[in-house]
Structure 1
Amino acid sequence: MKLTVIAATGGIGRHLVAQAVTAGHDVTAVARRPRELPTDVRAVAVDLTRPDLPTLTSAVRGADAVLSALGPRNPRAEAGVTSQGTRAIIAAMRAADARRIIIVSAAPVGPVPVPGRAEPPRHDPGDGFFMRHLGAPLTHAVFSRHYADLAVTEQLLRDSDLEWTVSRPPKLTDKPLTGRYRTALNRNIRGGFSVPRADVAHHMLAMIGQPHTVKQIIGIAS
């Protein structure tokens, strides 16, 4: 397949590129600093904080799927980059007539309201007592702006005509790929507190061939 990976040099993006190449896919990798990318991919330089729409459109044209690992390197200082970049990705995909997109969000986003939309449930249905009463309030207090931006990002996809899927992992780690993780449709994973970035990438690639994940939010955790 022809795949376009957005934020290809980031924590999840580099795993997406490596695993996709190993699987034999034709990869176009979009990054702010493409010199960090391997030589066996088509590298495209795009800064998603100031998107060049024609270049981004060229990068997604002909893609069977777009995989976006876009997110701030510092969630407390760079909130806003994910929704801004995703708006540009959606516009580029429409211009290029590309349809399938899978993005990374975060497990705590479910209860975050979006301005102008109906209030979401108070808790994610997959969260247990600890997450509802201790874990979620703490993470929201620290990363509230980042999660608000991710909630807007998810709503942009819902409002689009694309074949989207949102992956919601909890705390990300740099442990090696295991291929063993739990997933759930439209809910977080009970007792799932972390997951390797490599496993998130593995699952994103797997979902390309899973029609039941289209227009769904998928929880993932170890």
Structure 2
Amino acid sequence: MKIAVICANGKEGKLIVREAIARGADVTAVVRRENQSEATSVIKKDLFDLTAADLEGFDVVIDAFGAWTPEALPQHSTSLKHLCNLVSGTETRLLVVGGAGSLYVTPEHTVQVMDGADFPEVFKPLASNMGKALDELRTRTDVKWTYISPAGDFQADGARTGKYILGGEELTLNAKGESIISYADYAVAMVDEALNGSHIQQRISVVAE
């Protein structure tokens, strides 16, 4: 399987590259600067400069883009729209590293994690912009997309256990009542979805066992 990982130099991107290579995939890193991932095949381009030809022939494109500064937050929408346009109408699947703020906490799907009184104010702009990008993604019936939300406590340096609980649109807690997952176990879930393609045009979520 041929997989392209966009923003492969990021913390999550590097772990996804490592996991995919370990599972036997042919992985290409898409990076703006010198490649720091374990991929030996590289496309050195800014995400917004990518063309449809760049992504032609890949079975899966994994979007690990992240923006954190206030002025860059709208790029969650613009970058995802650009990638959708590049793979529109093709067999290439687009998998997105998503956020937890847009997960629902009511069965009616009327209240999201980011709406909670205890949700940190500092993260609301990020969660809101990522939620908007997901809403826009849901309208793309021309793209074989999957959006994967991590647990609420997304731990960069957590261990790889290789295990996780697969959830859907709602915030899922494990047996300990926690919403937690490591970047490494999230990468396991991402590569599982890349290899299996089980959730086309769906948002799924993952939490540690």
TM over 0.5: yes
The answer to whether the 8 A contact 1:108-1:140 is kept is no
Q: Which has the higher helix share?
A: 1
Q: TM-score, normalised by structure 2?
A: 0.84
Letter in 2 for 1:153: A
Query: Given the superposition, is the C-alpha separation of residues 123 and 41 from structure 1 closer, same or farther in structure 2, using an over 3 Å criterion?
Result: same
**Distance verdict in 2 for CA 1:157–1:203, change over 3 Å:** same
Counterpart residue number, 2:164: 181
Q: Percent sequence identity over matched residues?
A: 25
The residue type paired with residue 199 of structure 1 is D
Superposed counterparts of 1:72-221, under 5 Å: 72=67, 74=68, 78-94=72-88, 97-110=90-103, 121-123=110-112, 136-139=116-119, 141-160=121-140, 161-169=142-150, 170-173=152-155, 174-190=157-173, 191-221=177-207
Tell me: CA distance 1:211–1:144, structure 2 relative to 1, closer, same or farther (3 Å).
same
- Alpha-carbon offset, residue 70 of structure 1: 1.1
SS at match of 1:109: coil
Letter in 1 for 2:184: A
Question: Deviation of residue 140 (structure 1)?
Answer: 5.2
The SS at the match of 1:208 is: helix
Task: Tell me how far 1:33 sits from its aligned partner.
Answer: 1.6
Using the TM superposition, give the Cα deviation of residue 211 of structure 1 relative to its aligned residue in structure 2, in angstroms: 4.4
CA RMSD of aligned residues (A): 2.4
Shift of 1:76: 5.3
- After TM superposition, give the deviation of residue 218 of structure 1 in Å: 1.1
Tell me the CA shift for residue 12 of structure 1. 0.9
Counterpart position of 1:8: 8
Q: Identify the residue that residue 53 of structure 1 maps to in structure 2.
A: 50
Q: How many residues align?
A: 199
Q: Which runs of 5+ in 2 are unaligned?
A: none
Q: 1:162 Cα shift?
A: 1.1
- After superposition, the Cα gap between the structure-2 partners of 1:182 and 1:85, relative to the gap in structure 1 and judged at 3 Å, is same
User: TM-score by structure 1 length?
Assistant: 0.79
Q: Distance in 2 between matches of 1:198 and 1:147?
A: 22
Give the secondary structure class of the aligned counterpart of 1:189: coil
Runs of 5+ consecutive residues of structure 1 not aligned to the other structure: 112-119, 125-130
Q: Deviations over 1:131-171 (max 9, x none)?
A: 98xxx433352222211211122123212111111111122
AA paired with 1:181? Y
The CA distance in 1 between the partners of 2:200 and 2:120, in whole Å, is 27
